[in-house]
Chain A
Amino acid sequence: MKDKQLSVSAIKEGTVIDHVPAGVLFKVVSILKLDKVGTMITIGNNLESKKLGHKGIIKISKVFFEDNEINKIALVAPSAKLNIIREYEVVEKKVVTIPDEIVGIVKCVNPKCITNNEKVTTRFDVVSKPEVRLRCHYCEKITDRDNIEIL
């Protein structure tokens, strides 16, 4: 944490989400509803990264996510790495994996789908995790990685 390269300040307790591709950082913020979080949050974006070119990083004080909650970000940022911080130390590292089912979050790609016309929570079965292919529980159409729109 004394690294001069680190452009975002350290936190005492909480979660650091690192290696977020710069282009999707604010999608991650919206998926995790960080705008509703009251504790200190520091966000850095367009930081230099050997792996990603430009990356984003999010540090959230005093918040620890459940796996099923944090795994939702794998839809847009499968490369994200989590560091769980206690007393300024990384006590656990985690990667994210796409859950089997996605409830809410994603909009169905089919304009004729009932979920785009009536107030109803979207639901998808994940039919391929590596390719990120989601099958709508209602209209059965596939929404794939290129068409994922976060609600």
Chain B
Amino acid sequence: MKNKNLVSITDFSKEEYLRILELAAEFEMKPRQDILRGYVISTLFFEPSTRTRLSFETAINGLGGRVIGFTDSGATSTAKGETLYDTIKMVSNYADLIVMRHPLEGSAKLASEISSVPIVNAGDGANQHPTQTLLDMYSIQKTQGTLDGLKIFMVGDLKYGRTVHSLLMAMSRFNTTFYFISPEELMLPAVYKLHLDKMGLEYHEGKDLAEFLPEADIIYMTRVQQERFTDPIEYERVKNAYVLRRNMLEGTRETMKVLHPLPRVNEIHTDVDDSPHAYYFQQARNGVFVRMAILSAILGVK
């Protein structure tokens, strides 16, 4: 993986995913290692995302690396009309690796073609966010002991949710059975169902959240946002139908975990938080170890 870009979840092979997850487990055991001493990593956040940036910077600091960068293009030269091309050309002179988040789709791909150092995509608009997908996979593997043959429920906005699409693409390599639970307006796009058909995987679609929950190994919740609905009455009608409550978890598997990419609004009721099934806060913490693994694998220090 040395010097590879991580722009899209499809940039890494199944073996490379597994290697990242193995490294992440090592970092979880021993999170302070001085292996990035002398390395400079640039975090370019062309749009603010405090959660993702802090996770990356905690990972870099924990491994003894140095961070340069900016957090919001409003205050930098890009606001004065500097092109992405020029910014990446300049920064790749200073840094050993660039982590970037940008509101435009395809920006990380373009940056990877311009940059002389590897690019890690920390989100390009609604397109890709591969480090989120890897941390989701790490959380699944850690809680289930395996990635193979699991029953994964994806709930909420399956039409626009990029985390759901990337996780689906990644987990489709592990013989997963999927359950897609969403309102009519936010159903999974056909292109992903075609992909699962091609892979010969079983999947189920439904509108009722409670119906199949006892089957689940993982429930992956996403936000149902009002602005996604063309009809506000429809939103009012469905908004409470996709809220997970503690009483719905009765009768589910003991090892079943609830994941969520965060931030949540109200789609997981707070009464779930102290349930043994709740895993979303640990999931966020896992992001640091996964990002340590990604950075050290690409920089070739692990």
Considering only residues 97-151 of chain A, those with a C-beta below 8 Å from chain B are: 110, 112-115, 117-120, 136-142
Residues on B with beta carbons closer than 8 Å to the beta carbon of A136: 106
Give complex CA distance A62, B85 in Å. Answer: 40
Give complex CA distance A113, B84 in Å. Answer: 13
Contact B83 A114 (CB under 8 A): no
- What 1/0 mask marks residues of chain B from 281 to 301 whose CB sits below 8 Å from any chain A CB? 000000000000000000000
Q: Which of B83, B84, B109, B126 contacts A137 (CB 8 A)?
A: B109
Residues on A with beta carbons closer than 8 Å to the beta carbon of B124: 114, 139
Contact B105 A114 (CB under 8 A): yes
> Nearest Cβ in chain A — how far from B136, in angstroms?
19
Contact B83 A140 (CB under 8 A): no
Contact A140 B8 (CB under 8 A): yes
Residues on B with beta carbons closer than 8 Å to the beta carbon of A112: 103-105, 125-126
Residues on B with beta carbons closer than 8 Å to the beta carbon of A118: 83-85, 104, 107, 110
Q: Which of B8, B104, B126, B128 contacts A114 (CB 8 A)?
A: B104
> Nearest Cβ in chain B — how far from A61, in angstroms?
39
Give complex CA distance A148, B8 in Å. Answer: 25
Residues on A with beta carbons closer than 8 Å to the beta carbon of B102: 114
Give complex CA distance A140, B106 in Å. Answer: 7
Contact A119 B107 (CB under 8 A): no
- What 1/0 mask marks residues of chain A from 1 to 28 whose CB sits below 8 Å from any chain B CB? 0000000000000000000000000000
The chain B residue sitting closest to A142, CB to CB, is B191
Q: A114-B110, A140-B127 are in contact. Are A119 and B83 (CB under 8 A)?
A: yes
The chain A residue sitting closest to B125, CB to CB, is A112
Residues on B with beta carbons closer than 8 Å to the beta carbon of A140: 8, 105-106, 127-128
Residues on A with beta carbons closer than 8 Å to the beta carbon of B105: 110, 112-114, 138-141
Residues on A with beta carbons closer than 8 Å to the beta carbon of B85: 118-120
Q: Which of A110, A138, A142 contacts B110 (CB 8 A)?
A: A138
Contact A115 B106 (CB under 8 A): yes
Contact B83 A139 (CB under 8 A): no
Report B's interface with A, CB cutoff 8 A: 8, 83-85, 102-107, 109-110, 124-128, 191
Q: Which 5 residue pairs of A and B lie closest in terms of their CB atoms, listed nearest first?
A: A138-B106, A139-B105, A139-B106, A114-B106, A114-B107
16 A-B pairs (CB sep. < 8 Å):
A110-B105, A112-B104, A112-B105, A112-B126, A114-B84, A114-B104, A114-B105, A114-B107, A115-B106, A119-B83, A120-B85, A138-B105, A138-B106, A140-B105, A140-B106, A140-B128
